[in-house]
Chains A and B, each alone.
Chain A
Amino acid sequence: MFDALADRLESAWKKLRGQDKISHANIQEALREVRRALLEADVNLQVVKDFIADVETKAQGAEVLSGVRPDQQFIKVVYDELVEVMGETNVPLAQADAAPTIVLMAGLQGTGKTTATAKLALHLRKQDLSCLMVATDVYRPAAIDQLVTLGKQIDVPVFEMGSNADPVEIAREGVEQAKAQGVDTVIIDTAGRLQIDQDMMAELIRVKEAVQPHETLLVVDAMTGQEAANLTRTFHEQVGITGAILTKLDGDSRGGAALSVRRISGQPIKFVGVGEKVEALQPFYPDRMASRILGMGDVLTLVEKA
């Protein structure tokens, strides 16, 4: 469905053969192609505009490399900028000075919070860190069952108080229990909520105040469209996030939401979900994500070698 950006840029540049230097005039068509590619990858329009402006500035200042065509050089500028925005290196999960490390999961409905809670617990368990998962979703039918079932699969205990208790109270007592048992990490699963649902956002804020987490992770579906920017902004402004998990990257979405999340919150994406199974969690690599958003692979290695 998508032409690789590289192909499109090459054709944008063909018209300018003989011009070996990037200038304001000859860059415009290429910038339009980048804009289109980013929009097709679901990067938020405002984020695209800012990004394009930065790329334009950087591209014009770029040194001419001998043996590298300007279209390839331009791609490298775009790619480098994307990687830079995305955070350059992988940022690991926070660790508290004194156990337990408290992790709070948050996000819209159906993004993969409960699954990611279990995935994260398994990931930590494999590093010989003990875990407790706390089930505070008292709204969605069988949400607690879901976490309990996953807990059994990975052999990690789940703290729950049924679906008649107050989520804030469940979170508080879950953390108390983790402390009493000397658990290394406690992960709190929460109900999905819309960022415009003021009651539910207030509840999340109360949970956060009650447990003072070291890490508040926004769980975002990689298939999210323009809304990624709005939801990130509101969750970050109202609750304050320290990072994100991007889920369902095993699909064929381009994942432009990643750029919006990072750019709007300034917080790193720490993990990606790559499947429905509990093992399907990986660290986030900004460079891979940049290539994915741009829909390219080989061109980069070409430029790197030049």
Chain B
Amino acid sequence: GKTRRNIVNQLKSIVGQGPLNQAAVMEIEALLLQADVGVEATDYIIEALQNQIKQAALPPDAAIAYLKKILRDMLDRPLQNCSPIFVPEKDRLNIWLITGVNGAGKTTTIGKLAHIAQKSGYNCLIGAADTFRAAAVEQVKVWGARSNVEVIANPGKNTDPAAVVFDAIAAAQARNTELLLVDTAGRLQNKKNLMDELSKIRRIVDKKASDARVESLLVLDATLGQNGLRQAEVFAQAAQLSGVVLTKLDGTAKGGVALAVVQQLNLPIRFIGAGEGIEDLRPFSSYEFVEALIGT
């Protein structure tokens, strides 16, 4: 919470300037658990820290610096085999499929991405493939209008979302669109039929736009607990995820489950959402994320 004292001071109150003892390590463990890092990932991190402590006594400042390095390394690891800079390629079709559980912030993220793309001079289009939720199409249309990006939607009710994606790709191909953002309906990962529907959407994308560059992003709410890991596992299968967007980081939740997601699925975090406004999306920085998580 907000009233927690800064961690270095907490450790100093336990061990002074001396090396960390077990009580100090427990304090760090509590910090990680309270950030939703989860028991398993926390065990991993604490073990890495303990190993270092065995080699050399660590006073509070050094311990926290080392802890931050462990965390940053975890977050940066997936970038070893892909580009650290995440932008659509100019002069060709890029398709970004935006997926996630209900209410995570998919549609809002689409609105923010459309705005950035438009500002950066990309020819952009939105496919409104949430044909299920009440007023989902109206919502994404408002977002499209805010940045003057056209929205391809099917006016019928409860139409097949894969058909909308098909139409959106056709439209994108016809007008030399560079970035097609596809909004999908929220779905819980244990709903087999809905996950099959998502797989079908992904297949349509691959088939109909075989020469496009496709990114498949999972939107994770920073307020989530350990279920986020399960979400990432199942969505990775169904939608062939290539990255993560972490939303709602403007709250006090730290989004620690993203660490576990990155570690277990080797998926990079690409953007963070930090508000409901159109400008409230930023590229992910492991440095900023770790500073906010450890809170010094």
Interface residues, chain A, CB within 8 Å of chain B?
1, 36, 39-42, 44-45, 108-112, 139-143, 145-150, 153, 194-196, 221, 223-228, 230-231, 248, 250-254, 256-257, 276
Contact A223 B225 (CB under 8 A): yes
Contacts of A248 in B (CB 8 A): 101-103, 188
Contact A225 B250 (CB under 8 A): no
- Selected contact of B224 from candidates A225, A252, A254, CB within 8 Å: A225
Residues 121-169 of B contacting A (Cβ, < 8 Å): 132-135, 138-139, 141-143
Contact B102 A112 (CB under 8 A): yes
**How far does the Cβ of A228 sit from chain B's closest Cβ, in whole Å?**
8
- Selected contact of B135 from candidates A146, A221, A228, CB within 8 Å: A146
Residues 233-292 of B contacting A (Cβ, < 8 Å): 248, 250-253, 256-257, 276
Given contacts A225-B253, A227-B252, A248-B188, contact A110 B102 (CB under 8 A): yes
Q: Does B36 count as interface, using CB distance less than 8 angstroms?
A: yes
Contact A256 B225 (CB under 8 A): yes
- Selected contact of B33 from candidates A110, A194, A226, A276, CB within 8 Å: A226
Contact B139 A109 (CB under 8 A): no
13 other A-B residue contacts (CB within 8 Å) besides A39-B39, A139-B276, A251-B189: A42-B36, A42-B225, A109-B248, A141-B139, A141-B143, A145-B138, A146-B135, A146-B139, A225-B225, A225-B228, A230-B1, A248-B103, A252-B189
The residue on B at minimum CB distance from A38 is B39
Contacts of B120 in A (CB 8 A): none
Contact A225 B226 (CB under 8 A): yes
Residue of A36, A109, A112 with highest tally of chain B CB at under 10 A? A109
Contacts of A141 in B (CB 8 A): 111, 138-139, 142-143
Given contacts A111-B103, A225-B223, A257-B225, contact A142 B138 (CB under 8 A): yes
- Selected contact of B226 from candidates A42, A44, A110, A194, CB within 8 Å: A42
Contacts of B186 in A (CB 8 A): 276
**How far does the Cβ of B255 sit from chain A's closest Cβ, in whole Å?**
9
A229 CA to B103 CA, complexed, in Å:
20
Contacts of A39 in B (CB 8 A): 33, 38-39
Contacts of B142 in A (CB 8 A): 141-142
Produce 1/0 per residue, B33-45, CB < 8 A to A. 1111011000000
List 3 A-B pairs, minimum CB-CB distance, nearest first: A225-B225, A110-B103, A42-B225
**How far does the Cβ of B112 sit from chain A's closest Cβ, in whole Å?**
12
Residue of A36, A39, A223, A228 with highest tally of chain B CB at under 10 A? A223
- Selected contact of A250 from candidates B2, B36, B188, B250, CB within 8 Å: B188
**How far does the Cβ of B268 sit from chain A's closest Cβ, in whole Å?**
21
A183 CA to B101 CA, complexed, in Å:
35
Offer 14 A-B interface pairs, CB within 8 angstroms, sorted by A: A1-B230, A45-B30, A45-B34, A109-B248, A143-B135, A145-B139, A149-B134, A225-B223, A225-B226, A225-B256, A226-B35, A230-B252, A276-B132, A276-B133
Contact A110 B252 (CB under 8 A): no
A150 CA to B102 CA, complexed, in Å:
17
Contacts of A227 in B (CB 8 A): 36, 223, 251-253
A143 CA to B227 CA, complexed, in Å:
27
**How far does the Cβ of B1 sit from chain A's closest Cβ, in whole Å?**
5
Contacts of B141 in A (CB 8 A): 142
Contact A224 B225 (CB under 8 A): yes
Contact B225 A145 (CB under 8 A): no
Given contacts A1-B230, A112-B103, contact A226 B36 (CB under 8 A): yes
Q: Does B221 count as interface, using CB distance less than 8 angstroms?
A: yes
Contacts of A196 in B (CB 8 A): 2, 251-252
Q: Does B13 count as interface, using CB distance less than 8 angstroms?
A: no
Q: Does B104 count as interface, using CB distance less than 8 angstroms?
A: yes
**How far does the Cβ of A103 sit from chain B's closest Cβ, in whole Å?**
20
Residue of A149, A195, A226 with highest tally of chain B CB at under 10 A? A226
Given contacts A225-B257, A248-B102, A252-B190, contact A194 B227 (CB under 8 A): no
- Selected contact of A150 from candidates B35, B134, B139, B227, CB within 8 Å: B134
Residue of A227, A250, A256 with highest tally of chain B CB at under 10 A? A227
A90 CA to B229 CA, complexed, in Å:
31
Contacts of A228 in B (CB 8 A): 225
